[in-house]
A = this chain, B = another copy of it.
Amino acid sequence: MKRLISVSELTKDEVEAILERAAYRLEHPVGQSLAQTVVANLFFEPSTRTRFSFEMAVKRLGGETLNFQPATSSLEKGESLEDTVRTLEAMGVDAMVIRHAENGIMRRLSEVVQVPLINAGEGTSEHPTQCLLDLLTIQRAFGRLNGIQVALIGDVLHSRVAGSHLNLLPQLGMEIMLAGPSAWMPEKLPAGVRLVSMERALQADVVMMLRVQKERMSEAELPDYSAYREAYGLTVERASRLKPHAIIMHPSPVNRGVEIDGEVVDHPQSRIFEQVRNGVAVRMAVLEFVIKRGLSTNVCHEAAGV
């Protein structure tokens, strides 16, 4: 594994190896496996949360980061994004973590450099590390992935993490149900994915609320928030009717009172802040895999504490 652009490039074994390594990192959150390495964070869209998560992952493992500031960039001087990543490669960075609004750009960039690229959210297409951290959260809750029913509720269309989930979860034997406004449902459903009513979705093992992606919508597309909450929000009342073993997830940041009630964020069945914690561990694992290739074959034999 030398990059992470789409979850569709991952084998089942690779997914398992990453999750195993991430679980190890939850227990050993500090190390030196990235000592002497420098990772460039190129966030062409504002994001504190995901950038901090990657930065924590790098720094906890002894590495350093370069943080790109869109507002103060050479791009203003008319440089292409291809030239930017080639320049950073020439400078010797060990990996680049990239977030960008344009679908397909990660693949285009990966054709001009050899240095490992990690997709930190691309357009409306994919967000692989978010997908993996969700899997880690589910695996830790249920002890397995195979056979788990996951309901994705809300703005599937504009959700990059939903894009990754639709790609990967069915390959792992998981069942996906979608609920939400029909305008926000994908046109074509992958095998193993079906549309359901909100009531049915609430009976899933994993009730994953999606963020209403206001910033990716035109004014006309924006829903009436109060009506949206009534139809598809995870209200306190709805949360009280989940299966006892079910868990509540959300990729964050949440719109409190829109897709989820503020109180539900702290519901006993909520795993929302655990997702954040798992995110750092998953990113540690992914960075170790793409920068230290060897890890992928001997994760279990590596000396503890490394």
A residues near B (Cβ < 8 Å) are 29-30, 36, 38, 40, 43, 46-49, 52-53, 55-56, 59-60, 64, 66-80, 83-84, 86-88, 90-93, 214-215, 252-256, 265, 273-274, 276-277, 279-280
Contact = CB atoms under 8 A, between A and B. Distances in A.
B253 A92 contact: no
Given A69-B72, A91-B280, A56 B38 contact: yes
A32 to B, nearest CB: 9
A69 B48 contact: yes
A254 B83 contact: yes
A31 B78 CA distance: 34
A79 B279 contact: no
A265 B77 CA distance: 17
Contact of A72 (B70, B87, B91): B70
Nearest to A275: B90
B90 A273 contact: yes
Nearest to A274: B90
A124 to B, nearest CB: 16
- Most chain B CB atoms below 10 A, which of A70, A91, A276, A277: A91
17 contacts: A36-B60, A46-B72, A46-B73, A46-B74, A47-B72, A48-B73, A48-B84, A52-B88, A56-B91, A59-B64, A69-B72, A77-B214, A77-B253, A78-B214, A78-B255, A87-B253, A90-B276
